[in-house]
Amino acid sequence: MSVLIDNQPSVFNSYPALESELLQPAWKGSNCRHEYGWDHIRLTKQDRCAYCEKVYFLKELKDWFTMALDHVIPVSVCKSLEIDMTWCRSTANAVLACSTCNTLCNRYVPLTLPQKPESFQEFLKLRNAIFLERKRLIQDAQSREEKVFREQQIKFAALKATH
């Protein structure tokens, strides 16, 4: 069966359309770069961080090292909502993220607990909504951090100049 969702974030457009493929477990084996991350790239054609969209994992070795596979709807949220764990751990709920983005939003908890999705289609809609919210939070956190970084750079330059 093929699953169609309107207005889904573009990162999911290259994911397989077949429900049976979307439901494949995404975390197989223990090594992201050698096993499940690479499997995810093959299956979804995703090759860059889903959140910042700036890090391409197959261009530079230093970026390859930062590759993580992230649960869009976190495991804790899936558990609170009693969501089927095969959905939680499926390819549909996985995106590649650079370690920076992965660190910035790995304690995400929705402000209000959403309704339990009763079908896989509803699960995908919830995934889309949570993805967009987390993407916004991560990008905001990066902007704030960049501001601090620029300020510290200037302060450090001034500090060095005084010696």
Could you tell me which stretch among 14-22, 54-62, 83-91, 145-153 binds Zn ion (CB under 5 A)? 54-62
- Residue from 22, 23, 26, 49 that binds Zn ion (CB under 5 A)? 49
- Only one of the segments 18-26, 34-42, 45-53, 104-112 lies at the binding site for Zn ion (rule: CB under 5 A); that segment is 45-53
Give least dist CB 55 to Zn ion, A: 5
Provide the Cα torsion 157, 54, 6, 93; round to 10°. -100
Minimum distance of Zn ion from residue 66's CB (angstroms): 8
Site for Zn ion contains 101 (CB under 5 A): yes
* Backbone region of residue 96 per phi and psi (left: phi > 0; alpha: psi in -120 to 50; beta: other values): beta
Contacts of 22 by beta carbon, 8 Å cutoff, 6+ apart: 3, 15, 16, 90, 91, 92, 120
Contact status: 98 vs Zn ion (CB under 5 A): yes
